[in-house]
Amino acid sequence: MFGLLLMAFGIGAFCVLTYKMAVYALPVMVGLWAAFAALHSGSGSVLAFGIGFVVGAIVFCIGQSIWSSRQPRLFRYAVALLFVVPAVLTGYYTTQQFSTLVVPSVSWQFVLAVVGAIAVGLTTFARLAGSVPVIDWHTTRDSHI
Q: What share of the chain is helix, strand, coil (3-state, %, to 5)?
A: 85, 0, 15
pLDDT in tens, 121-141: 888 888 777 654 445 555 555
pLDDT in tens, 91-122: 899 888 888 888 888 998 899 889 988 988 88
Burial letters 116-144, b for 16+ CB under 10 A, else e: bbebbbebbbebbeeeeeeeeeeeeeeee
140 residue type, one letter = T
Cα(101)–Cα(49) distance, integer angstroms:
33
28 residue type, one letter = V
